[in-house]
Amino acid sequence: PGSIQISGETLSGAEIRDICESLRENSVRLLSLRGCQLSERDFGHVCRGVAESRSLAQLNLNLGIVSNINRVKQLAEALKTNRSVQSLFLHGSPLTDAGLALLNPALSIHPSLVALDLGDCMLGDEGINLICGLLPPDGAKSGLKELTLSANPGITSKGWGRLAIAVAHSSQLRVLNLDYNPLGDQVAGMLAVAVASSRTLEVLDLEGTGLTNQSAQTLLDMVENYPTALRTLILAENNISPELQQQISDLLSEGEEEEETEAHEVTAREKNPWICQNNSSSQMVLMTSGLGDSLLAETEM
């Protein structure tokens, strides 16, 4: 299966028919209509095509495609039937909490969805409560691996605290993008606790979130003193000294180097099972970031 990627175009009825035919023929893995203009009728046709497709893995409707409640309802109906979509991009859609409430039942029961972008979707604390339901407690069931909530300034510290608790107990979340939200040092402290508790979170984007050296020091202490899965921490465009940012980066890099050494040792033992172990009870854990095959990285944000 191939991909259809169109950006910023006004789509004709003939183009929509071609897209829908490809979806029904299961010849599309990635459909991106980023910032395109299409009629209400044609949007409905696309949703029906999504519902019927068994090959579609990534659906990008960024930049205002899902522009009203009627479209939210049609997308929700499509996702209730679809079983193949793994990543859904709705960045820049005016969903609001009310729209997410309509979409949430379909998201919560979808069997394949692991990556969700709700950046700049005008969400608030009620929306966060719904999102936390997509991050089930450890071991309960599968949930999201990658979540983007960039630029949702309507979410308060109470909402972010709720998310931090969910992340701490999430069994699968690997990537969390919270850039360009007015988080501040208090929320950053909550997130540091969440990262220290999570066994899976590898990437945390806090670019432009109003942090200072106070929260950077907390994050540094966390990275320095607690074993975590964290590999990448983005702190650009904050009021944080370059020295602190470099210290955090160096510690994360040291962790990667140590794991690469462990990985080589594991591979060597697999190739030569006669290598003796000094301690028969010792365990070697191989951890990789998986960012190379990241679902969010496969299509243009």
Taking the C-alpha atoms of residue 19 and residue 50, their distance in angstroms, rounded to an integer, is: 10
pLDDT of 277: 39
pLDDT of 256: 62
Q: Is 174 contained in some domain?
A: yes
Taking the C-alpha atoms of residue 17 and residue 83, their distance in angstroms, rounded to an integer, is: 22
Cα-atom radius of gyration of the chain, to the nearest Å? 21
Residue type, position 48, single letter: R
Same domain? For 82 and 182 the reply is no
Q: Is 40 contained in some domain?
A: yes
Number of domains in the chain: 2
Same domain? For 13 and 112 the reply is yes
Q: Is 176 contained in some domain?
A: yes
Q: Is 252 contained in some domain?
A: yes
| Residue 186, number of CB atoms within 10 A of its CB | 12
Same domain? For 116 and 178 the reply is no
Same domain? For 87 and 11 the reply is yes
Q: Is 146 contained in some domain?
A: no
Structural domain boundaries, residue 70: 1-122
Helices 125-132, 157-169: crossing angle, 10 deg rounding = 10
pLDDT of 264: 47
pLDDT of 79: 97
Residue whose tokens read 């929509």: 16
pLDDT of 259: 54
pLDDT of 139: 62
Q: Is 81 contained in some domain?
A: yes
Residues composing the chain: 301
Q: Are 228 and 204 in contact (CB under 8 A)?
A: no
Same domain? For 89 and 172 the reply is no
Q: Is 222 contained in some domain?
A: yes
pLDDT of 138: 65
Q: Is 149 contained in some domain?
A: no
pLDDT of 276: 32
Residue 281: exposure state from Cβ atoms within 10 A (0-12, 13-18, ≥19): exposed
Kindly report the CATH number assigned to the domain that includes residue 167: 3.80.10.10
From first to last of the 301 residues of the chain, give the pLDDT tens digit: 699 999 999 999 999 999 999 999 999 999 999 999 999 999 999 999 999 999 999 999 999 999 999 999 999 999 999 999 999 999 999 999 999 999 999 999 999 999 999 999 999 999 999 999 999 876 666 789 999 999 999 999 999 999 999 999 877 899 999 999 999 999 999 999 999 999 999 999 999 999 999 999 999 999 999 899 999 999 999 999 999 999 999 999 886 655 555 444 444 444 444 333 334 333 333 333 333 344 444 444 4
Same domain? For 185 and 242 the reply is yes
- List CB contacts of 20: < 8 A, sequence separation 6 or more: 45, 46, 48, 49
